[in-house]
Amino acid sequence: MSNRLETAQKLAGKLFGTVHGPLVPKIICDHGEGIYLFDQNGKKYIDFSGGPMAVSIGHGDKRVRDAMVEQMDKVSFFFRGFWLNEPLLALAERVIKISPPNLTMCQFCNSGSEATETAIKIAHQYHVERGKPEKYMVIGRWQGYHGMTLGALSASGFTLRQSKFGQLLHHWPKIGAPLCYRCPHELIYPTCNIRCAQALDEIINQIGAQYVSAFIAEPIGGAATACMVPVLEYYPMIRKICDKHDVLFIDDEVIAGFGRTGKWFGIEHWGVNPDIITSAKGMTGCYTPMAVVIIHDKIGKVFSEKGAAFIHGFTMEGNPVSAKACLTVLDIMEKDGLVERCAQIGEYFFKKGREKLSHHSTVGDIRGKGLLMGIEMVKNKESKEPFDPALKVSYRLQQLAMEKGCMIYPTAGVINGIRGDHFLVAPPFIITESEIDTAFDMLDEAFTDFEKEVL
Ligand SMILES: Cc1ncc(COP(=O)(O)O)c(C=O)c1O
């Protein structure tokens, strides 16, 4: 073992927590370039999941580096509460330009979880300013994920990430996910009459609309549902139900936002206007922490009519170096047409993925949109019976894929929070057709090795 690896492995015990799943990292990430990451021995890995579905324009883009250095040479930090922040103002203008109609204001923060917390607080204060302070509850979905902080985790429906923190969380109500492959109501589309959307109306009636502040959902599922894509009627129905009950619709675009699904925002596939959008990950290309909450003007109007300040803020919020990085990422996405590219190459990505993987008996479902794909693993394809959760099969597949040089994002709990295994692939937007072929070839081989072990 090299000295460098030995030292790193010894020091690893000094980092508390944050291990993703049962596998402890055993290699050093040395550097990144385009769609690739390289380990300490120079071995190349395709970053086929973009980390946690986050890398957008690829690794090591010198244009982002140069823009960040230019800003650092001027000033790296000043407090947003005391100074006008030019890069951030330019970023707000750009974000609003690409946002759905009537979303006209931005609040910046540093992570997707902070964005969820911020959105929950904006929604509640909006009701408070309108004389409805009892509207506080946020309804989410089983399965859904909105972040690790306590408010965000309370709004999530992701048992494996929540179970150790029961007493700390608000046990806000949830509706089932609009996942046709495993319909929570055991119905079949279209005769189901989109019962999964009607469930929101039912639960609000049961709780009492006077207590419900907002409904939060990822437009296309992420880690919790392996990229579930609701049917076309779903979000228009959700929008109507929210309006009927004076409940705000928070659209969590932390993964789907900024191009990955082939539109700037995932919700555009349904032509629906949310009240609040949260986003992070792809907007900064992962060069630096940055997240945004985009707010409907009806909310802005209430705050300004009441002369109310939003009681909130973070020290590092809207850091000018991060804002400059985001502006450059957006420049690159626009100049290189990367959103259109996600839509176009996304077609090839799904065609190839299905061609290479569907024949495996442990591949139950392949779903998603653009460059966001979820693959559900099953023990029995016909009955959709899952594996024993103790086997942690998606993590085993990750290991096998990594040995071949392909990174995927494993997770579990799609069925009832505990059972059901799946993984996500969400490569950088610059991936080419031949690189897609290579990555799926590696995954195909990883599945063959995996099936030899488990079947
Ligand atoms: C849909 C969604 N919302 C929120 C978050 C939280 O984002 P962060 O990890 O940046 O706090 C995530 C993270 O994976 C996510 O996928």
Tens digits of residue pLDDT in 201-211: 999 999 999 99
CA 255 – CA 111 distance, rounded (Å): 12
Q: Return the ligand 1 atom nearest residue 152 CA.
A: 4
91-121 core/surface letters (b: 16 or more CB in 10 A; e: else) = bbebbeebbbeebbbbbbbbbbbbbbbbbbb
Respond yes or no on whether the N-terminal peptide bond of residue 190 is cis (omega within 30° of 0): yes
The amino acid that residue 356 corresponds to is: K
Nearest alpha-carbon partner for 227 in 350, 384, 398: 350
Atom of ligand 1 nearest to the CA of 52: 14
| Main-chain phi, psi angles of 221, to 5 degrees | -60, 160
> If you measure from the C-alpha of residue 146 to the centroid of ligand 1, how many angstroms do you get, rounded to a whole number?
5
Nearest protein Cα to ligand 1, atom 13: 147
Q: How many CB atoms lie within 10 A of CB 161?
A: 18
Residue 452: burial class (beta carbons within 10 Å; 0-12, 13-18, 19+): exposed
- At 10 the pLDDT is 86
Bridge partners, residue 372, by sequence: 369
Residue nearest to atom 8 of ligand 1 (CA): 112
Q: Is the pTM of this model over 0.75?
A: yes
Backbone angles phi, psi at 158, to 5 degrees: -140, 85
Distance 255 CA to ligand 1 centre (A): 7
Give the position, in ligand 1's atom list, of the atom nearest the Cα of 114: 11
Cα of 112 vs centre of ligand 1, distance in Å, is: 5
Q: Which of 118, 145, 283, 314 to mutate to test the pocket of ligand 1 (most atoms within 8 A of CB)?
A: 145
Q: What angle do CA 350, 420, 422 make, to 5 degrees?
A: 30
Sheet holding 291-296, edge to edge: 103-109, 291-296, 276-279, 248-252, 212-217, 137-142, 174-176
Strands 212-217 and 291-296 turn out to be unpaired
CA angle 274, 146, 103 (to 5 degrees): 20
Q: State the residue for tokens 């994002």.
A: 409
Q: Which residues of 4-22 are buried (b: 16+ CB within 10 A; e: fewer)?
A: eeeeeeeeeeeeeeeeeee
The rounded Å distance from CA 452 to ligand 1 centre is 34
* CB distance 359 to 211 below 8 Å: no
| Rounded distance between C-alpha atoms, residue 367 and residue 346, angstroms | 12
Count Cβ atoms below 10 Å from residue 193 Cβ, excluding itself: 12
Helices marked H in 229-337: 234-244, 297-305, 320-335
What's the CA gap between 21 and 70, in Å, rounded?
A: 38
- Pick the closest to residue 329 from 276, 281, 262 (CA basis): 281
- For a substitution probing ligand 1, which of 113, 150, 258, 409 has the most ligand atoms within 8 Å of its CB? 113
- DSSP letter assigned to residue 275: S
377 CA → ligand 1 middle, Å: 23
User: What tokens does 43 get?
Assistant: 């071995």
- Cα–Cα dist 340/282, whole Å: 15
Containing H/E element for 197?
helix 195-207
Which residue's CA is the nearest one to ligand 1's atom 3? 146
CA of 113 to the centre of ligand 1 (A): 6
Task: Tell me how far apart the alpha carbons of residues 305 and 11 are, in angstroms, rounded to a whole number.
Answer: 55
User: What pLDDT is stored for residue 19 in this prediction?
Assistant: 61
pLDDT of residue 24: 77
**Whose Cα sits closest to atom 7 in ligand 1?**
112
The parts of the chain modelled with pLDDT lower than 50 are none
Closest CA to 145 of 106, 115, 166: 115
163: Cβ contacts below 8 Å, ≥ 6 apart: none
How buried is residue 250: exposed, middle or buried, by Cβ count under 10 Å (0-12/13-18/19+)? buried
439 phi and psi angles, rounded to 5 deg? -65, -45
Index of the ligand 1 atom closest to the CA of residue 253: 1
238 C-alpha to ligand 1 centroid (Å): 22
Q: From the CA of 445, how far away is ligand 1's center (Å)? A: 30
Report the nearest atom of ligand 1 relative to the CA of 218.
1
Q: Dihedral of CA 211/418/360/401: which sign?
A: positive
CA of 147 to the centre of ligand 1 (A): 5
**Which atom from ligand 1 is nearest to the alpha carbon of 149?**
11
| Residues at CB less than 6 angstroms from ligand 1 | 52, 111-113, 116, 145-147, 218, 222-223, 252, 254-255, 280
What are the C-alpha distances in Å from 113 to residues 144, 155, 432?
Answer: 13, 11, 32
CB atoms within 10 A of CB 66: 12
Distance (Å) from CA 64 to ligand 1 centroid = 23
